Amino acid sequence: MIEPAIQQKIDAWLSGNYDNATKSEINNLLERNEHEALADAFYKDLEFGTGGLRGIMGAGSNRMNRYTLGMATQGLCNYLKQNFPGERVKVAIAHDCRNNSDVFARIAADIFSANDIEAYLFEALRPTPELSFAIRHLGCQSGVVVTASHNPKEYNGYKVYWNDGAQVTAPHDKNIIAEVNKITSIDEVKWEAKSGNIHMLGQEMDEAYIAKVQNLSISQDAIKNQHDLKIVFSSIHGTGITLVPEVLKRFGFTNVHVVEEQATPDGNFPTVVYPNPEEKEAMTLALNKAKEIDADLVMATDPDSDRVGIAVRNLEGEFELLNGNQTGALLMNYLLLAWQKAGKLTGKEFIVKTIVTTDLIKDIADSYNVKMYETLTGFKYIAEKIRELEGKETYIGGGEESYGYMIGDFVRDKDAISACALIAEMAAVAKDRGQSLFEMMVEIYTRHGFYKEELVSFTKKGQRGAEEIQQMMADMRANPPQTIAGSKVVEVSDFKHSTRKNLLTGEESRLDLESSNVLQYLTEDGSKISARPSGTEPKIKFYISVNEPLASKDEFDAVNKQLSQKIEQILVDLKLR
């Protein structure tokens, strides 16, 4: 049986001004008695969260479709008109390769234009970081990109940006949500486009963005010496193909091999299960190509090109995927060393990482006497920190463990295009010194300690899954562990309640961060365990970080094994294995 409240919503869609295809999809589910699917599609409205919308595509109030997107866009229009009275409001719009992304982007542009807002729409798919750049370049008050990032193919989404090119943060995020929630009917949406308010963006914007990326280059001599560095690149059917090969060429790399099987944009992602460079399976074709041509470096970007995964040859000469913490530590070390050599470190520079990203980055920053700030998970918080310090301190770079990096501040979101360019340059510098990137990483470990991290996540789909995740977090708050892997828990940070408690002294302190549903345990031996429900997927994530000193490269394997065993014990103790 379908619950009465859900049936009421279904009836409203079947009798409302929805198109015939939408009504047919709902009727087909009713005829097949697919009550669970209907319940999931209608048990709530697709939440317009602090970053926008993300959900499975299809008919229903809890699905990503033209109507949920349209109502969200109308709410955003209303907020923009309130916030910028008397101004001619401008909005930039981009989309990725996903099914319906181009259609959704055009619908959004139509609604903005119908509300007398100037809509600057990219003529074809483009990377998310270029959208962030375009907002600032054009002087827009806002921007949206239609993407579900690295989610499975069934998903799509809609991310909202503010006038600094960053995803919206307080107070605008909550205020936009309030306006979106006021739109209770599709009949309140202005659907009819005013074509004179829609302007197309293309190559001119590409060139302006690429010029900024080129200015990030630090080591042109190393690139000249190693211009034929063998690079394999895959866009995993996404937007990376539009800019990454061209940017690498402009940097001076002459030996870039694109994975052709994944070069054509395709929202069905036919060669992968998940279009996510964090997944080894998604990197398989690129790794095969790398072995075939004896490559130096493998890089792959996600569908909207804000994340990049890499593989390099390890100490045994075999290709090994680096995790986001390792790549981030390499990049921050490379940037800080370059700034130091150039005499640009004045004491007013800073880098940023998120609370679940490796503390190795802090150790690296400390060694250069550069400030490191920590934010909640999400690049909008890194961008917020840049905005807060603008004119007072200089941002160098930042990153998070989930394969996102931002170098320089002309983009205010994670940027896999510029990251690919700097990673390739860093690999050229390493090769110029007779090293691999892996050896460069081991060198960092010998200076600062061998940090090893692992991410374990559990997918819990639908209404029941969301309830299970909340219960898991409640149980961990109510019953925190006293020891983990034989080491005493000495500190518990609850970011939801903004408290940090020292369990040895009983002392409590306030966390100077916005509330977020994250729990973090710190043990006596320096291990850190964080639990966090994902904000974009039906998952709960556990981040494990352990560390030990590394005296020399010769001890790498032994210490690596020791740390792996410690991680395994932590997972067993927390009943995650």
Q: Sort strands 394-400 and 519-523 into parallel, antiparallel or unpaired.
A: unpaired
Max Cα–Cα distance, the chain, nearest Å: 71
Q: Which residue(s) pair with 167 in the sheet?
A: 161
Are 420 and 308 contacting, i.e. CB atoms less than 8 angstroms apart? yes
Length of the chain: 577
Q: What is the 3-state secondary structure (H, E, C) of 254-303?
A: CCEEECHHHCCCCCCCCCCCCCCCCCHHHHHHHHHHHHHHCCCEEEEECC
Task: Point out the catalytic residue in the list 113, 142, 149, 418.
Answer: 149
Are 364 and 353 contacting, i.e. CB atoms less than 8 angstroms apart? no
Q: Sort strands 539-548 and 450-459 into parallel, antiparallel or unpaired.
A: antiparallel
For the stretch 289-295, contacts whose Cβ atoms lie closer than 8 Å and that sit 24 or more positions apart, written own/partner, are: 289/232, 289/257, 289/259, 290/232, 290/319, 291/319, 293/230, 293/232, 293/257, 294/230, 295/230, 295/231, 295/232, 295/257
* Strands of the 231-234 sheet, one edge to the other: 256-258, 231-234, 297-301, 308-313, 319-322
Q: How far apart are CA 155 and CA 98, in angstroms?
A: 8
Residue 54: helix, strand or coil by DSSP?
strand
Cis peptide before 277 (omega within 30 of 0): no
Q: How far apart are CA 298 and CA 319, in angstroms?
A: 9
Q: How far apart are CA 148 and CA 384, in angstroms?
A: 22
Alpha helix segments (H runs only) across 115-229: 128-138, 172-182, 203-214, 220-225
Beta strand residue intervals within 346-503, DSSP E: 349-354, 371-375, 394-400, 404-407, 450-459, 483-484, 487-494, 499-502
Q: Determine the residue type at 30.
A: L
DSSP state, residue 45: P
To the query of whether residue 101 is one of the catalytic residues in this protein, the response is no
What residues are annotated to the active site? Answer: 149
